[in-house]
Structure 1
C-alpha cells in the first residue's frame, strides 16, 4: 500500500512503498514524475505532476494508456514555468488551450483564489483533452493538483471503487483551506456513484466548489442536478461542452430556492470567439442561500423551555404561539434570509434527531452540546453559548446550634478578651492590696468591677480613691464599651443573617458530597459519555446516576432526600421559577454555579447543510451585539413574572390569604426563630439552673447551722 505526501506541502512529496520499504522524493529542481503502483483489483488511480508542458503531454500519454493493472500516484510541486518571450501571443494561446476552464475554476482572479488547490476525479473512458485543459488553466499560481482516474474492470461497481479514494480526498480537503473538486465523466452511473459516495463520506462542504464536466444529454443532466444532494444543494456547477466544431461549453446549476421554486438554470456559456458570457444576471457558483424567496424550511424540534416552548394567550387561553430564546434567534435569521419556518409535529427525541439524518428537516433550532459522537452524524452551527449542563440541589437548612453566641467573634478575639480580663483583674487586685488599707482588701468587689463593667453593668460600691486605680478602671470601661458594642452588633447580624452550611457548587464538590444523582431519560447519551470518559469525576457521577421519569420527581427528591438533579442549567432555572418558587421569590432549590460539562452548544443541522455559513454569519453578529445574552435574560424574567402572576391568580380564585410580608426596599423583614435564639435560651437555662443550685445549697447550709443560731442568707 502507498502513503503519499500531503498536498499542502508544495515543496516536497514522499512516496513510500510499505511492502518494499522504498522511499522516493520529488522536489523543485527535478523534472520527472515518479510512479508508485497500487494493485487494488478493479481500481487504477493515477496522479500527475507536471513541470513543463512538453513533458506533461508525453507523461500523460504514457501513464494513461500503458498502465493496465497499475495505478500511478504523483503530486505536483510547482506550476510550470511559462515562456518569457512573446508574452502577449502566449497568453492568447493559453486562453484557447484552457478551453475557458480558467474562468470557471478561478472566476475572481485574485491572489487567494489563484492558490486554491484542485482535485480531479475521472473515469477510465473520459477524454484526456479535458484534463489537459484543466491542468493548463491552473495558470502561474502555486496551485497543487491531484488527479484520480478510476478504471473499473469486469463490470465492477463504481461505488465500491470510489469509496477509498473519496475518503482520501476528504483528508486532502480537510488539510486545504481552499479547494475545487472537478469530476470529468460522460457515464451517468459513474456520476451517480460519485454523488452517493461523496454525500455519505461528507466530502463536499459549501466552501468546496464542485465542477462536473460531462457530455450527457440535457434531460439526464437535469435529472442528476435535481436528484442528488451534492449536485442539487451544494456549491455545484455542471459544464456541458459543445460540439467539437463550436469549441465552448454551457454552465448549469440547480437553484433549490428561487421565485419559481427549485429549478435547473443556465448561468453562463463560453465560446472561443467571444469568451465568457453570464446569463440573466447570474454568476458562476452563485450563492443559493442568500435569499430563500419566502420558501418554507422544515424544522424538527423537541420542546425545551426556555429555548422553545408553546405558550397560551388570551382570556380563554386557547390562542397558542411559539416563543423561547432559540425561537427568537431563528425568527430573526428567517427575516434576514427571507424564509418561512415550518415546524414538523413534535415527537420523541430519537424521532426528532432521525429527521435530521434523513434530511426530512434541515435544522433543529434547539441548542445541543457539541459532542464527538454527535459530530459523526450531524453538522452544527456556530456555537450559541458554552455548554450549560449543571445540577440542582436543595438549599442546606440551618441546624440548631447552641454556639450562635460564639459566632460573632473569632477565636482569637475571644482569647484576647479573656487575656485582657485576667490582666486587668490582676492589676486592680494588686493596686487594692498595696493601697495601705488592708481592711478593705476583698476579691469579690474587684471581680464585680471587672466582669460587671464588661457586661455593661454599673460599678458597685465606692469608687477607687487612688489616681492610678482610676486610670486603669477608666481604660477598662472604654475597652468594655467598644467590645460590647461590637459584639452586640455582630450578634444581631448573625441572628438575622445566619451562617448556612457550605453547599456543592462544582463537579468535585458534588462528588465529595456523595449525593445520589437523578436525571431524566433523555440524558442517556451524556451519561454514556461520562462512563467512557477518562475523568474519575465523570465516571463517579455516571455510577451514581439514576433515571427518573420527570423533573418534578427529580427536583422533589433533591429537596426531600438531598439528591442532585442533573440537567440543563437554564431549563432548571425556569422550572424552579415556575414550580418551586413562592410568591415572595423564595425557593428551597439552587442551581450550582459551575457548568460540569466543558465545551460549547450549537444547533444540530442535517449532514452537509449547505447554508451553514449563512447561519453562522448571523449568529456571530448576534454574539457581537450581545443579543443572545439579552434574549436569554428577557425569557427568564418573563417566565418568573408569569409564574408569580399564576400563583396570585390561583390564590385569589381559591380564597387563599396572601402571605404577610413587610418590604423595605429590596429586603424582606424576617422574624427570628428558635433556631436563631437557641444560644441565648441555652445560656439563660444554664444560668437559671446554676442559680437554682446555689439557692438550694444556701438553704441547705442555713438548715445545718440553725442549731448554732447562725444564718448565712443574704
Structure 2
C-alpha cells in the first residue's frame, strides 16, 4: 500500500497536511493539487505532474434492441419523412379523387395511393397508376428520388445499428454534469474545492459547489454512482487508478467512465512548510525526474499493473467458485453474426402487423356476415 493510500485511510490527507502545517513533518510525499487557498497554509515543491480535476459517472444503459429499426435516423429526420409522406399522399389523393382523373383513368382508392407512395419510399417500385397523368410526372419523380436517397442512407445506417450497440448520450461536460446528477461526492480533502467553486463567478461552478458532498471515499462514491444519479469528482490520476483497481471487469471494460472535459486544470506537488531551506534541493531533483519523463512512465506502468492484477484476481475468484469464463471475456470477436436480439425489432413489427391484419379480417368477416344476415 502506498503512502498516499495509507494517509487516505488514516485521515484522507488531512492528517498529513496538518502535520506539515504545524511543521511537525518536513514533507508530505502525496499527490496534492495546488490551490490558492492551500498556499496560505503550506508551500509546495516544484510541480511534477498535471492532474486535472475530473468527474466519473456510471455508463448509461444501452437502449433496447427492439428499437434498432428506429435508431439509424434522428428524430428530426423521421419527422421530416413523415411530413413529406403526408404531404405527398394528400396531394396525390386530391389529384386521383378529382373528376378529371376518374373520368380518364378510373377510380383509385385512398388506400391504394398510400400503399404506392409508401412502397416507393421503401424501394418497392410503382404499379404505374400514379404516373399515368402527365401532371403527376414531376411529383412522382421527385418523390422517387427522395425515396432513393433516404432509403439508401437508412439501409446503410441500419447495418451498423443492428450489429453495433447504440450508445445513449452521456454527460461529458461540466454543464451537462450539473443538470444530470443529484449529488457530486468527493473525499474529505474536498472542502477547499467546494469553497473554491462556491466563490466562483461562474454560475455553473457555483451549481457544482452546491451539489458537492464532502467526506465520501472514492470507492463508496463510485459505487453510489452505479446505483444512483450521482457522480464522484477528484483528481484524474487517482480516479483512473481506482477505476482500474476496483471497477474493471475481466475483459478490461468498466461500468464507470470519466468525463471528457476536465472541471479545472491543476498541477500537483508535495506540501512542505513555508520557507523550508531544503526546498531548492527537492525542486532540482523533481525537475530532473519529470523532465526525463520518468514519472509519467512510472505512472502508466503502475496503472497497467493495477488493471492486470485486478483481472487476474477476478479470474482466480471464478476458478475457485468453479465458474467458467464467458466466450467474450478477455477477448474480442471481430466477426459476429446477427442474432435474434438484433432483429427482434423487425420481428416485433411483423407480429404487430399480423395481429392488426387478423383483427381487421375478423372484423370484415363479422360485418359481412351481419350485413348478409340483415338482407
With the length of structure 2 as denominator, give the TM-score of the two structures: 0.75
**1:162 paired residue number:** none
- Structure 2 residue 114 is the aligned partner of structure 1 residue 450: no
**1:691 paired residue number:** 357
- Structure 2 residue 39 is the aligned partner of structure 1 residue 385: no
CA-CA distance at 1:467 after TM superposition: 9.8
> Could you tell me whether the CA contact under 8 Å between 2:50 and 2:266 is conserved in 1?
yes
Cα-to-partner distance string for 1:87-114 (whole Å, 9 max, x where unaligned): xxxxxxxxxxxxxxxxxxxxxxxxxxxx
CA 534–441 in structure 1, closer or farther in 2 if over 3 Å, else same: closer
**1:303 paired residue number:** 4
| Bigger share in strand | 1
Partners of 1:702 and 1:430 lie apart in 2 by 26
Counterparts in 2 of 1:210-359, with a 5 A limit?
302-304=3-5, 348=11, 349-357=13-21
**1:395 paired residue number:** 59
- Structure 2 residue 371 is the aligned partner of structure 1 residue 705: yes
Structure 1: 5+ residue stretches without partners: 1-300, 310-345, 710-714
| Bigger share in helix | 2
> Could you tell me whether the CA contact under 8 Å between 2:48 and 2:269 is conserved in 1?
yes
**1:374 paired residue number:** 38
> Could you tell me whether the CA contact under 8 Å between 1:390 and 1:595 is conserved in 2?
yes
**1:363 paired residue number:** 27
Partner-residue secondary structure (3-state), 2:325: coil
Partner-residue secondary structure (3-state), 2:4: coil
Partner-residue secondary structure (3-state), 1:567: strand
Counterparts in 2 of 1:474-623, with a 5 A limit?
480-497=147-164, 499-530=166-197, 536-547=203-214, 550-623=217-290
> Could you tell me whether the CA contact under 8 Å between 2:123 and 2:148 is conserved in 1?
yes
**1:650 paired residue number:** 317
Cα-to-partner distance string for 1:36-74 (whole Å, 9 max, x where unaligned): xxxxxxxxxxxxxxxxxxxxxxxxxxxxxxxxxxxxxxx
Partners of 1:432 and 1:470 lie apart in 2 by 19
Cα-to-partner distance string for 1:149-188 (whole Å, 9 max, x where unaligned): xxxxxxxxxxxxxxxxxxxxxxxxxxxxxxxxxxxxxxxx
CA-CA distance at 1:599 after TM superposition: 3.9
Partners of 2:268 and 2:135 lie apart in 1 by 76
CA-CA distance at 1:500 after TM superposition: 4.4
CA-CA distance at 1:381 after TM superposition: 1.6
Q: Which structure has the bigger radius of gyration? A: 1
Partners of 2:279 and 2:286 lie apart in 1 by 10
CA 359–463 in structure 1, closer or farther in 2 if over 3 Å, else same: closer
CA 509–358 in structure 1, closer or farther in 2 if over 3 Å, else same: same
CA-CA distance at 1:602 after TM superposition: 1.3
Partner-residue secondary structure (3-state), 2:232: strand
> Could you tell me whether the CA contact under 8 Å between 2:120 and 2:126 is conserved in 1?
yes
- Structure 2 residue 271 is the aligned partner of structure 1 residue 634: no
Partners of 2:24 and 2:286 lie apart in 1 by 24
CA-CA distance at 1:403 after TM superposition: 6.8
Structure 2: 5+ residue stretches without partners: none
- Number of positions where the alignment pairs a residue of Structure 1 with one of Structure 2: 367
> Could you tell me whether the CA contact under 8 Å between 1:302 and 1:352 is conserved in 2?
no
CA-CA distance at 1:535 after TM superposition: 5.5
Cα-to-partner distance string for 1:521-557 (whole Å, 9 max, x where unaligned): 3434434555566665555444443345643322211
CA-CA distance at 1:658 after TM superposition: 0.6
Partners of 1:684 and 1:650 lie apart in 2 by 45
CA-CA distance at 1:558 after TM superposition: 0.9
- Structure 2 residue 332 is the aligned partner of structure 1 residue 663: yes
Cα-to-partner distance string for 1:501-533 (whole Å, 9 max, x where unaligned): 443333333333351122333434434555566
Partners of 1:364 and 1:599 lie apart in 2 by 18
Partners of 1:386 and 1:477 lie apart in 2 by 57
CA-CA distance at 1:700 after TM superposition: 2.2
**1:226 paired residue number:** none
Counterpart of 1:408 (choices 62, 72, 78) is 72
Partners of 1:542 and 1:648 lie apart in 2 by 40
CA-CA distance at 1:648 after TM superposition: 1.9
Partner-residue secondary structure (3-state), 1:511: helix
**1:90 paired residue number:** none
**Which segment is superposed worse, 697-706 or 526-535?**
526-535
CA 449–596 in structure 1, closer or farther in 2 if over 3 Å, else same: closer
> Could you tell me whether the CA contact under 8 Å between 1:515 and 1:563 is conserved in 2?
yes
CA 626–415 in structure 1, closer or farther in 2 if over 3 Å, else same: farther
Cα-to-partner distance string for 1:413-468 (whole Å, 9 max, x where unaligned): 51575278449946994999669854x54346555443333334465699988999
CA-CA distance at 1:584 after TM superposition: 1.9
CA-CA distance at 1:559 after TM superposition: 0.8
Partner-residue secondary structure (3-state), 1:559: helix
Partner-residue secondary structure (3-state), 1:574: helix
**2:85 paired residue number:** 418
* Larger RCO (alpha carbons 8 Å, 6+ apart): 2
Cα-to-partner distance string for 1:196-232 (whole Å, 9 max, x where unaligned): xxxxxxxxxxxxxxxxxxxxxxxxxxxxxxxxxxxxx
CA 548–357 in structure 1, closer or farther in 2 if over 3 Å, else same: closer
Partners of 1:445 and 1:432 lie apart in 2 by 18
Counterparts in 2 of 1:189-208, with a 5 A limit?
none
> Could you tell me whether the CA contact under 8 Å between 1:387 and 1:597 is conserved in 2?
no
CA-CA distance at 1:560 after TM superposition: 0.6
CA-CA distance at 1:483 after TM superposition: 3.2
Partner-residue secondary structure (3-state), 2:46: coil
> Could you tell me whether the CA contact under 8 Å between 1:302 and 1:347 is conserved in 2?
no
With the length of structure 1 as denominator, give the TM-score of the two structures: 0.43
